[in-house]
Amino acid sequence: MSTTPSPIRPLGPDLALTGSLGKRVDVLVIGLTTGSDGPEAVLGFGVDEDVLAGLLDDLQAVGATGKAEELTRIPAPAELPVGSVLAVGLGAADRIDAEQVRKSAGAAARSLAGVGTAATTLSSVDLGAAAEGFFLGAYSFTEFKSSLSAPSADAQPLARVELLVESPRTKEPKATLARAAAIAQAVATAREFVNMPPSHLYPAEFADRARALGVAAGLTVKVLDEKALARGGYGGILGVGKGSSRQPRLVQMTYSGAKRRGAKKVALVGKGVTFDTGGISLKPGAGMENMTSDMGGAAAVIATVVLAAKLGLPLDVTAWVPMAENMPSSTAQRPGDVLTQYGGITVEVINTDAEGRLILADAMARACEDNPDYLIDTATLTGAQMVALGNRTPGVMGTDEFRDRVATISQQVGENGWAMPMPAELRADLNSRVADLVNVANHRWGGMLVAGIYLKEFVADGVQWAHIDVAGPAFNTGGPFGYTGKGGTGVPVRTMVSVLEDIAANG
């Protein structure tokens, strides 16, 4: 039985525009920058300059420096109708950008557990970034905390943020806040999926939750079960899922937002392995619990297509989300087996732990049948991504022009995708003795690049394509930082929606 919750549920604090400090505000959050003579307060609407100068003296007295994301909280002066003031560092004044505002707002939000309402002047620096940062910094996953360990009242996440702006009732700030809130909710939705344990999020349940979100957003949603997958020839998805008692799915979510003839069509594909043991090629036990995150690409794609609908983008966007659980059993595929991907390419499975590319290939081949102008796929695909780029930098591959476009946009929005090559000489390493392809090379060099080269085989000619490997960036196994807590991060939702907006604007 499905345990699907209501699809419309706020996952962060209420966000509101205001022109003055209200009586309900508990904490005022202001920004500080570093300076040669000590910290400097960032001017923001809603606080008198003389009051701000006095606050700066008090903050300096307790050691505030303005260093990026440094937090200093002091009692509020009598002139302010709040209990306390929290100063958050923004770093050097000449280096402040939207991502730094986002990070600093997130750090502030994380520190304000137990606070009912905060107001902030960071909105004067960058309204959208401040809103996103506060929302995502306050996000926490508590669904499985029982009454014995549930957070106490003074540990509950920040409930409301009032963003101080000069004209809160005018069109521009309202539109900026609406977009930021929608993006933050989408990122948090992806986080929520990733953080859901595999005992409760398996392929059928994942498909049900995706359907609920899609229908609520006005999308057309179709779900292919294991019988439909067999009839359709989706050998990659079936091969990966055949070792589990919980059968695979393929979800198609369609947003028809084109408002003129010639508007672009975009296909999104995300890897949805709800748990990855490695199959017969079993992973080491240490850290395997983190493989609950192996559907991070699918989570991001679902959240993004729903967000495209909410923003009303003038595009046609179709998401293809293959879902499977990769388990070892008497029915699991074996190293040496041959499967047939959707469209007819045969693959010798050398390593059952290189399963993500098998389910992606089916979905990508099917997506290309609809002749999209652009195809973006994303996945927690290779450990080699982390070896090459670390835990916070996605690798971007694909057709050269679109790859570079996606990587540039990713850097602009703070998700920091980095363009990577697909060296032609690595293609020969995918030749099989018995089939058309093998699913891994016979060496460990350039593993992320080899995976991209494999996926390229399933992209139709003429389709602009980008592959985003988020093996590390989709899941934070370390301590919280900026607006990112431990667990699911929601990367690369902000990259993908910004690419969609760029396509809508520029073709």
Give catalytic residue positions. Answer: 283, 357
Residue indicated by tokens 């508990």: 26
**CB half-sphere exposure, 385, CA atoms < 13 A:** 25
Residue 16 exposed, middle or buried by CB count within 10 Å (0-12, 13-18, 19+): middle
Instruction: With beta carbons less than 8 A apart as the criterion, state whether 469 and 447 touch.
Output: no
Task: Specify which residues 40 forms β-bridges with.
Answer: 33
Angle 145-151-156 from CA coordinates, rounded to 5°: 125
Identity of the residue numbered 19: G
Angle 267-270-271 from CA coordinates, rounded to 5°: 150
Q: How many CB atoms lie within 10 A of CB 420?
A: 22
CA distances from 466 to 52, 69, 269, 270, 453 (A): 47, 33, 10, 12, 12
- Residue among 397, 408, 382, 416 nearest 489 (CA): 416
Identity of the residue numbered 210: A
Find the radius of gyration of the CA atoms of the chain: 24
N- to C-terminal Cα separation, the chain: 44
Helix ranges (H only) for 86-170 are 98-111, 127-138
Instruction: With beta carbons less than 8 A apart as the criterion, state whether 70 and 151 touch.
Output: no
Residues 41 and 30: their CA atoms lie apart, in Å, by 8
For residue 324, what is the enclosing H or E element? strand 316-326
Instruction: With beta carbons less than 8 A apart as the criterion, state whether 483 and 136 touch.
Output: yes
CA distances from 402 to 348, 499, 502 (A): 30, 10, 12
DSSP letter string, 259-322: -STT--EEEEEE-EEEEE--TTSPPPSTTGGGGGGTTHHHHHHHHHHHHHHHHT-SSEEEEEEE
- Residue among 13, 16, 2, 387 nearest 177 (CA): 16
- With a CB cutoff of 8 Å and minimum separation 6, the contacts of 164 are 18, 19, 20, 21, 44, 45, 46, 47, 119, 120, 121, 123, 124
Residues 305 and 160: their CA atoms lie apart, in Å, by 27
Query: What b/e string do you get for 180-208 counting C-beta neighbours within 10 Å, with b at 16 or more?
Result: bbbbbbbbbbbbbbbbbebeebbbbbbbb
Residues 24 and 305: their CA atoms lie apart, in Å, by 36
**CB half-sphere exposure, 226, CA atoms < 13 A:** 15
